[in-house]
Amino acid sequence: MFTGIITGVGRITAVHDLGSSFQHGKRLTIQSPEGYLVGVVLGDSIALNGACMTVTGIDVANHHFTIDVSAESLGRTSGLSELGKVNLEKALRANDRLGGHIVSGHVDGVGQVTHFAQVGESWELRISAAFDLSKFLAYKGSITVNGVSLTVNDVQDQFVNGALQNTEISINLIPHTVKNTALGELKSGSIVNLEIDTVARYVERMLHVEKLCAANPSI
């Protein structure tokens, strides 16, 4: 489990194929901040841009570690097969503060940045999310963007021919967030990893079962 509070910004410095077909994943080498890997051991979980990954190799002295990303994970996330900055968060410990919100590290889908610009001292980030995530996005609700716990400030459902097509959310980023995460690298058109709020997921499931039972009294 994670909190969505980024504990370091790393950089993917190498990407190696684990096989020759699209069914094979990739091995990533990540350079971490100095001292970040102290206490980290093989098998530990570290979230990269919001995706929970397992440490498969570690070099504390040179501040880098490796992870193996499956083809399944690559197909459902963004930014895990390209060189560049990534947000890092170590797994939550039982005695840690829950500074953000409960995050599983399982990406629910990707979104596309439609707008990213400074407004006053902060930045406005707008993201278009696919239709299947729309029901989980709420005003003042929580959303994880590339591993960062954020609050939704506005929700705009977008319809095409009377049918809900996608939903655009607006998020305010304070200077601290822009400075201490890789979100400052985003631009219009960037693809980001999204994880919905865990509570919203369970509420949706309960409502779904309730509807099933109402429609099928014999269940």
What are the residue ranges spanned by the domains of the chain? Answer: 8-90, 109-205
β-pair partners for 114: none
| The model scores a pTM over 0.85 | yes
For the segment(s) 109-205, the CATH number from 2.40.30.20, 3.30.450.20, 3.10.310.10, 3.30.300.30 is 2.40.30.20
Say if residue 215's pLDDT is above 70.
Answer: yes
Same fold yes or no, 8-90 and 109-205: yes
Q: Report the mean per-residue pLDDT for the chain.
A: 94
Fold type of domain 8-90: Elongation Factor Tu (Ef-tu); domain 3 (2.40.30)
Length of the chain counted residue by residue = 219
Q: What is the pLDDT of residue 11?
A: 98
Encode pLDDT of 67-96 as tens digits. Answer: 999 999 999 999 999 999 999 999 998 888
Encode pLDDT of 145-183 as tens digits. Answer: 999 999 999 999 999 888 888 999 999 999 999 999 999
